[in-house]
Amino acid sequence: MKVNRRDLLGAVGVAGASTALGAMPAAAAGAKSGGRPFTPDWNSLAEGYSAPDWFRDAKFGMWAHWGPQCVPEAGDWYARDMYLQGSGAYNTHVRKYGHPSKVGFLDVIGQFKAENWNPERQLDLYTRAGAKYFVSMANHHDNFDNFNSPHPWNSTRVGPKRDIVGTWAKAARARGLRFGVSNHSAHSWHWYQTAYGYDAEGPMQGKRYDADWRTKADGKGTWWEGLDPQVLYNGPIMRIPDGYTNRTEADDWHRRTDSLWNEGKPPHRPDLAAAWARRCRALIDQYQPDLLYFDDFDLPMEEYGLEIAAYYYNANRRWHNGRLEAVLNVKTTPAQRRMAVVDDVERGGKTYIETYPWQTDTCIGGWHYSRGVYDRDGYKNATAVIHTLCDVVSKNGNLLLNVPMRGDGTIDEKEEAVVEGIAAWMGRYGGAIYGTRPWRVFGEGPGSGGGGMFSEAQRSYYKADDVRYVRKGEDVHALVLGWPDDGVVRLNRFANGNSIGRGQVERVTLFGDKTPLAFKRTDQGLEITLPTGAKEAIGVPLVLSGSGLVEGSVA
């Protein structure tokens, strides 16, 4: 279905746009291929943007969601949760490092060394696994930059004392991968306010945590000499009052007051919003990313986010001699903005073919490394990853996959085995996915795939009667998500008289093999006999060739 951008904008409305809806800015005209610059409003972004072909063709990327929070091997949100008394991260921190009134996250940063990091080897593995783009985390909510940043708490100055983003970028591009960066720092100003808290109960009751007392002067003679802890922790913007003596009530105060997933600017601290924008511009200018991911449900920091979006699009077009090759990811994008950015769904999917290209980002474990996930064999297997990829691609999406890294820069042997399993399937069948586009419907079978954020399962529940469809050229690819017990695939969409499967099927082959397969078309469906020697538990892609098979595809 063709959607007129101007009509959609006018009908739905564009909240936060700085230009009146009826007056589309001249700056938007021809912006994709060398027109006037983008301006910082949603109308300009929507009128001038469309997702580049490189992204639509790539389908599969890998992500290094890696930073100092991986050092404790205690999972996600460590730098925040270590300041919530009784949480798993708090208990881990007290056991491993000491009480957070004395030993804070600042001290964990000092142990982030990346001493065994071998980016070339890791990217060789990811390239073999079929990734066409690679994304490096530039920073997380812990407010630590993995690049040569104007923010002093960065990996070139402390911790590894290396430009992590720059090193990833060089190695990725040397392997022909498109390169992206993810930016999560806009939330640090409220996310970190727990560091100004205290224990509500127990022997350390009322003792404020390290952010509350540490100053630049305390660093004299230490590894962080010259740095200001208040710059790291952002200052006491929403400091919990004294007097809480119940841990549950103290936690509830944080949830209600300082933990709201706030996309706005920090109150009474315009310096933090301006500093965030400076860091974004430095990241864009130094590394010229093909993809910029914001871990936000909107462009962050209000007008600053719009300015950075326009800045990035204009810079990207300049790098590419007038062509716009940029991908800007934002999560849970409302329908009226999906032509301006590339919508991202965290750990979930869609139940329909999305009009505009989109992405799901997920992980085989947690976002940050967890020894507990390793010990309980909690990683997604290769089957779950490949099935997710097939489902997402059939709905006009891409899959961005993170493999959690330890603080020393390595992945463990169980994770490596999962990636090798992905590589084995993609090495044989990846070509059935790259460069494809959605067909008339996304598929058939009882498994529908996730719908919305955090809707995924850790294990695949798809079976051989679950099929996902894509098109490539004049062919339809039927991605069969399992191996049928009797060796016969049945495609119900191609039953005689079914208008969805209209057209003539003249030939069916297994992708990568030109040998015709035996098939028959009945009132129940298209029945295809698979070759026993090609048995693959994950599933196989079949190529349906003929006439009139792709006419009327939806995107």
pLDDT tens for 352-362 read 999 999 999 99
End-to-end CA distance of the chain: 7
**Strands, sheet with 519-521, edge to edge from the N-terminal-most edge strand:** 488-491, 526-529, 519-521
Q: How many CB atoms lie within 10 A of CB 214?
A: 19
Provide the 3-class DSSP secondary structure of residue 170.
Answer: helix
| Each residue's pLDDT tens digit, 117-147 | 999 999 999 999 999 999 999 999 999 999 9
Determine the length of the chain: 555
| Each residue's pLDDT tens digit, 394-418 | 999 999 999 999 999 999 999 999 9
Model confidence band, residue 28 (pLDDT cutoffs 50, 70, 90): very low
Alpha-carbon distance values, 140 to 70, 79, 84, 192, 391 (Å): 11, 10, 19, 11, 29
Model confidence band, residue 22 (pLDDT cutoffs 50, 70, 90): very low
The pTM (predicted TM-score) of the whole model is: 0.93
Q: Which of 281, 241, 251, 322 is nearest to 149 (CA)?
A: 281
The per-residue pLDDT of the chain, averaged, comes to 92
The DSSP letter of residue 239 is P
Alpha-carbon distance values, 467 to 268, 386, 442, 462, 478 (Å): 53, 13, 9, 9, 6
Would the CA dihedral through 509, 510, 511, 516 be positive or negative?
negative
User: DSSP letters of 78-111?
Assistant: HHHHTTSTTSHHHHHHHHHT--TTTS-HHHHHTT
- Residues 471 and 254: their CA atoms lie apart, in Å, by 49
Model confidence band, residue 1 (pLDDT cutoffs 50, 70, 90): very low
Beta bridge partners of 46: none
pLDDT of residue 169: 98
- Can you read off the two tokens belonging to residue 58? 């790539």
pLDDT of residue 34: 56
